[in-house]
Structure 1
Amino acid sequence: MSDASAKAKFILYWGDMGSQWGVNRSVAQIHALLFLSTEPLNAEQISSELGIARSNVSNSLKELVGWRLIQRVPVAGDRREHFVAETDVWEMALLITKGRKEREIDPAIRAIDICVSQAENEPGLHPVVLGRMHDMQEFLQTADRWSEQMLSVPKAKLAMLMKMGQGSVAPQDRRQKDGIGGTLFCLTISLSAEITDSTVSGAKCDTNAQSRPPQFFAMAVFVTWSERRHGTAFRRPFNGASANA
C-alpha cells in the first residue's frame, strides 16, 4: 500500500484521531484497515500492511473484538483466523457509544453512588460538598438515561433525526448549518427524557416519558427549536393529529 494513496492517508488519519479520542493508535489503524478492506484479513496480513509488530496486532484485534467492531470469520482452505469489520457506520457508532457507556459512564455512576451514600451519613460534611456530589450524581444519571434511550432508537430513525433539520424549515427561511445545530439540540435535550411542558411549549404533546418513544421527544423539541429560530415556518402538533402548516 503506497503511503501516498487515499487508503493509506485514511488509515493514518484514523489512527491519529483515535489517539486523540483515547484509543490506541494501532487499534484505530487496524480498525480503519479492516473497515476499508474488501476481503477478510489475517493477523500476518495486517502486520505486513501496516508495519505493526505481530504481538501488537494480536492485542489490538482482541480489543476490537471486545468492542464488537470486528469479528472472526472462517476462510476456506486457511486455518488462520481472519477478521472483518462492521461496515455499517450507524451500527459502528452505536457499538462505540454502547461500549463507552459500559466502560466509562456505568463505572462512574457506581463510584459516585458509593460516595454520595457515604457522604449523606458522614457527620461534619459541609452541605456544599454534599450538594456538589448530588449535582454530579444527577448529571451522570441523566447522561445514562440519554445514552440508553439513544441506543434504543432504530438506526433509520436516528439517521432521520440527524438529517431532518435540512428540510424541515421553509426554503425562504433556511440558513446554512441550521440543520445540524437543531439536530444536536434536539438529540441532546430530548433523548434524556427530561422534557417538561415548558421545554416543549411550542408543541402539543404528552410529556409522559413512559408513554412515548424517545424519537417522539426528539421531534417535539426540534419543532420548538425550529419555531423559536424561524418563527412559524414549521409547526406540527404531536398529539396524533394531522399537521397544519
Structure 2
Amino acid sequence: MKRKDYLLATDLDNTLAGDPLALQGLLNFFNKEELDPALIYVTGRHLDSALELMEKEQLPAPDLWITDVGTAIYDADTLTEDTEWHNRINENWQPSAILRMAKNFPDLKRQELPHSKRISFTVEPGNSKTVRLFQENLELEGIPHYFVFSSDRDVDLLPEHSGKGQAVEYALKRYAAPHAKVLLAGDSGNDSQMLSLPFPSVIVGNAQPELNDLPSHPLIYRSTAHFAGGIQEAWEHYHMPSYKTKPIGS
C-alpha cells in the first residue's frame, strides 16, 4: 500500500456506493483539488462480493480491502490476505459453538458465505428482542465473539477482537503513512466501532437511525449530503478549512 498524505477508509454500500452522481462528484473534487488519497474499502461483504460491487458501481480500485465486517484484510494488488491479522483474531474463534446456539432461535436466518470468517444472520425488522436474547445466551455460555446488529435486520458474529474499527486501526498502524490525514466514513451500525476511532469521521446523511446513538464528538461529523456527497462534505470540513460550511457534529 502506498503511503500517501491523505487516506480515506470508507464503507461501500450506501456510503461510497449507492449514488453514481455523488460518487462522480467526489472523484471530480479529488481531481480538481489534486488530491490522491490512499483508499481502504471497509465492507461487510466477502471479498468476491465486494469485487463484484466495485465493478458494478465503477468504484476506483482501493489500496487495501477490509472485508467481512473487519475479519479479513487483503492487499488490493495481489488479493493476498494479511496472515498476521487472520491469526491474531482467530485464536479463540468458535463458529461451530455459535451455530449450535443459533439453532435455538429459528427467527435467525443464516446467510450463505464462502467461509467461516464470520457467522451472519438476517432477521425480519422488528425482531430486536430475539436478537437481544441470542446475544445474552452467547454471553451466558461464555462463547467468545464480537456481536454486531445493524440496519434492524443484519446480525454478524465475529471473532471477539475484530470488527471494522479494530481492523482499520490495525491497518492504519501497519500500512498508512504516520502523518496521513485520515477520514473514516460509514452509514450503519456495523460502522460504529470504526467511526468511534480517534480520527475524523463522517456519518453520511442517509445513514441508518442506529448511528444516532453515537455521542456528539468533534471527530464525528454528521453530513447533510448523502452517499459519497457526505464524504465530500466532511472532507471539505476537516481537511480543507476554506470549504467549511457547518459546525462539527451538527
Same fold per TM (> 0.5)?
no
Which protein is richer in strand relative to its size?
2
Larger Rg: 1
The alignment's TM-score, normalised by the length of structure 2, stands at: 0.27
The alignment's TM-score, normalised by the length of structure 1, stands at: 0.27
Which protein is richer in helix relative to its size?
1
